[in-house]
Amino acid sequence: MAANIAFRIWPFQFRILALMAVVPFVRAQMPANQSPPQPAERAGGRTEFEVATIKPAEPGTHVYPTVGLWFDDSPAPPGGHFLAQGTLPDFIQFAYSVMAPTQQVKQMAAKSPKWVGERQWVIEAKADGSPTKDQLRLMLRSLLEDRFRLATHFEAREWPVLVLVLNKPGMAGRRLRPHTEGLACDAPWAAPPDRTAPSVPPGGFVPTCGSAQAIDGPDHTVLFGARALTMTHLAEGLSTLPTIREMDRPVVDQTGLTGTFDFTLQWTLDFTAPTPSSISSTELTGPTLQDALKDELGLKLKPAKASVQVLVIEHVEPPSPN
């Protein structure tokens, strides 16, 4: 039976393994002269949890989160209860909607306090009402600043990236459609009997809007899709896939496509990931991720360098007592 796995907790998900004294977290989709839109701007200024606790995680245990520590736009559950476990970089990733290439982390890992990348924390907090995900991000950011003495700033840096572009100018693929042409987010959804059938519309096997999902298929295939996802978030999601992750380059959206989209992408897992200079080379019998991007979504990846906005961590300390 195929396992239905939320993309943000897929076992191959990109994980930040360490954090250095001054570490860049890439927000690669923004031009160099423009700061990324932050939760504070979208959610209406600084705000805080009503009450919060930070505790070291018990070895060998893991709490089930109320909100995944990821950068997607899936809605937050009602009730204002925040519970999650992770390293400090995991929480930073969620609070600032950013991610870091692992190679940049490794280069300065020796300067890092060892606890930062290794120690797991459980944060449980309560907010008034039913805040949005952006409001929860802002509340968590305030908590990290107060309890971990976290200090940050954004700056532009030249970075090796993979740019996501249209394979043919002005032409999207058959499995990439504007969300306005698909099932509305508030409409009833029914699971298709065969989620891989061509008759299933793009993203039709995904029950909710705003986050991508992947399901395992036969012969090392993967079915990946989403409803109402921006191209920015699609690019960020591609950065976490095994084939792309091995290149250690964030994916930058340069498609020029605006709005949200429904899509479905199916490919064969490549266990010998190519280098950026030979991105299309493969010896697999099924379609590679790059082939599927071109054939199904009308997109392609090109290695390049780009000036990107990064979040730089200036200062951090172990959390203050509860």
- Backbone φ and ψ of 260, nearest 5°: -115, 155
Of 119, 125, 114, 118, the residue nearest 48 (C-alpha): 125
Q: What is the pLDDT of residue 165?
A: 96
- Count of domains in the chain? 2
Task: Please report the pLDDT score of residue 118 as a whole number.
Answer: 85
> Quick count: other Cβ atoms within 10 Å of Cβ 164?
24
Within a domain: residue 321?
A: no
pLDDT of res. 111 = 53
**Nearest CA-CA partner of 70 in 207, 164, 185, 211:** 211
Residue from 158, 149, 8, 16 nearest 89 by CA: 16
- Which residue, 52, 38, 46, is CA-closest to 121? 52
In this structure, the answer to whether residues 35 and 112 fall within a common structural domain is yes
Q: Is residue 106 within 8 Å of 21, Cβ to Cβ? A: no
Residue 214 domain-assigned (yes or no): yes
Tokens of 285: 């019998």
* pLDDT by position in tens, the chain (length 322): 332 223 332 323 322 222 333 444 444 444 333 444 454 445 456 789 999 999 999 998 889 899 888 766 677 888 999 999 998 888 988 898 876 555 454 444 445 678 888 899 999 999 999 898 889 999 999 999 999 999 888 888 888 889 999 999 989 999 999 999 999 999 999 999 988 888 999 999 999 898 788 888 777 788 889 999 999 889 887 887 777 777 778 888 999 999 999 999 998 876 554 444 444 444 446 788 889 999 999 999 999 998 877 777 788 899 999 8
Check residue 312 and give its pLDDT.
Answer: 77
Whether residues 154 and 55 fall in one domain: yes
Residue 126 lies in a domain: yes
Note whether 100 and 146 are same-domain residues.
yes
pTM: 0.65
Half-sphere exposure of 176 (CA within 13 A, CB side): 25
Co-location of 137 and 224 in the same domain: no
Reduced to 3 states (helix: H, G, I; strand: E, B; else coil), residue 246 is coil
Shared domain for 25 and 60, answered yes or no, is yes
Domain range holding 110?
A: 19-158+311-315
CB 171 within 8 A of CB 298: yes
pLDDT of residue 153: 82
* Same domain, residue pair 112 and 171: no
